[in-house]
């Protein structure tokens, strides 16, 4: 899939992995629509990128809001062929802790944002992609979703987050199979510990411990490295139905 001359929708594109991806795709010539709840950051990034960049205020858990963002992408002077979902939140809590059973509300919220939000972006963007004229290879679009190594190596207290990311892993292959006859590919990236706003909130002592346990390179991943992999997935038409760990060989310990 050629990035230049395509429209790209980036869910959660105002910061972190999403912002890096939006920048990368824009630099490669895409018409980028940044879909995010953070209007201040989203409009600032769109202004920074300039031509071929726009912002759509979007709550990914709201189908109508996601549809509006998809419509903005559809109105670009290039077909919507790329959708990258990076919107996500975290929560720490054990199944049973000192205060009793894990509260249901935060569990539901994590599932709604991380899983249902990703599904909304994928399904509504793909519904537009299938109407595109196919490329010479028969492609009409590519969806790249964001899982996590927590899907495989969930730590103590990550029950909600791991469940949401594990579901993204599990839906990758059936989504790819569903969309294969229509010329739309689906892959997921499972990042390890990346230097994003989510990790920036941790105390420096905790950050240093997380850096130390990465085998090589012993550091946090950079958002531009995530964006580089997203670009490769988009451009490599043989990548389909795959979940790729991007983690420096990290296997998370129980805690």
SS (H, E, C) 109-148: HHHHHHHHHHHHHHHHHHHHHCCCCCCCCCCCEEEEEECC
**Which is the catalytic residue, given 161, 194, 220, 226?**
161
Looking at domain 7-246, its CATH architecture is: 3-Layer(aba) Sandwich (3.40)
**161 carries an active-site annotation:** yes
pLDDT at 52: 97
Cα–Cα distance for residue pair 134/34, rounded to 1 Å: 25
Nearest to 231 by CA among 23, 40, 14, 87: 23
- Please check whether residue 18 is in contact with residue 27, taking contact to mean a CB–CB distance below 8 angstroms: no
Q: 173-196: per-residue pLDDT in tens?
A: 999 999 999 999 999 999 999 988
Confidence of residue 203 (pLDDT cuts 50, 70, 90): confident
Residue 201 has pLDDT above 80, yes or no: no
Does the pLDDT value for residue 45 go beyond 90? yes
- Convert the pLDDT of each residue in 113-124 to its tens digit: 999 999 999 999
Q: Looking at the chain, which runs of residues are DSSP E strands?
A: 7-11, 31-36, 53-57, 80-85, 96-97, 100-101, 141-146, 184-191, 243-246
| Rounded-to-integer distance, Cα 183 and Cα 240, Å | 11
- C-beta neighbour count of 68 within 10 angstroms: 16
Helix axes 39-49, 16-27, angle to 10 degrees: 20
pLDDT digit string (tens) for 208-244?
878 888 999 999 999 999 999 999 999 999 999 999 9
146-163 pLDDT tens trace: 999 999 999 999 999 999
CA-to-CA separations, 247 to 72, 161, 214, 222, 229, in angstroms, rounded: 34, 17, 8, 11, 12
């Amino acid at each position: 899939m050629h990035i230049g001359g395509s429209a790209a929708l980036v869910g959660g594109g105002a910061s972190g992995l999403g912002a890096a991806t939006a920048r990368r795709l824009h630099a490669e010539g895409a018409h980028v629509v940044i879909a995010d709840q953070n209007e201040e950051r989203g409009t600032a990034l769109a202004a920074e990128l300039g031509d071929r960049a726009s912002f759509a205020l979007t709550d990914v858990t709201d189908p109508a809001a996601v549809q509006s963002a998809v419509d903005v992408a559809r109105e670009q002077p290039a077909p919507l062929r790329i959708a990258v979902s990076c919107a996500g939140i975290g929560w720490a809590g054990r199944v049973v802790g000192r205060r009793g059973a894990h509260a249901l509300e935060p569990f539901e919220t994590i599932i709604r944002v991380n899983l249902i939000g990703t599904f909304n972006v994928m399904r509504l963007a793909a519904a537009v992609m299938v109407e595109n004229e196919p490329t010479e290879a028969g492609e009409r679009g590519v969806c790249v979703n964001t899982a996590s190594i927590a899907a495989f190596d969930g730590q103590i207290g990550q029950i909600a987050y791991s469940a949401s990311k594990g579901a993204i892993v599990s839906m990758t292959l059936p989504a790819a199979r569903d969309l294969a006859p229509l010329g739309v590919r689906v892959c997921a990236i499972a990042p390890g510990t990346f230097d994003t706003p989510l990790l920036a909130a941790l105390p420096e002592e905790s950050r240093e411990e997380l850096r130390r346990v990465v085998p090589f390179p012993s550091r946090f991943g950079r958002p531009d490295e995530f964006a580089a992999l997203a670009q490769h997935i988009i451009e490599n038409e043989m990548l389909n139905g795959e979940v790729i760990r991007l983690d420096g060989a990290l296997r998370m310990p129980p805690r």
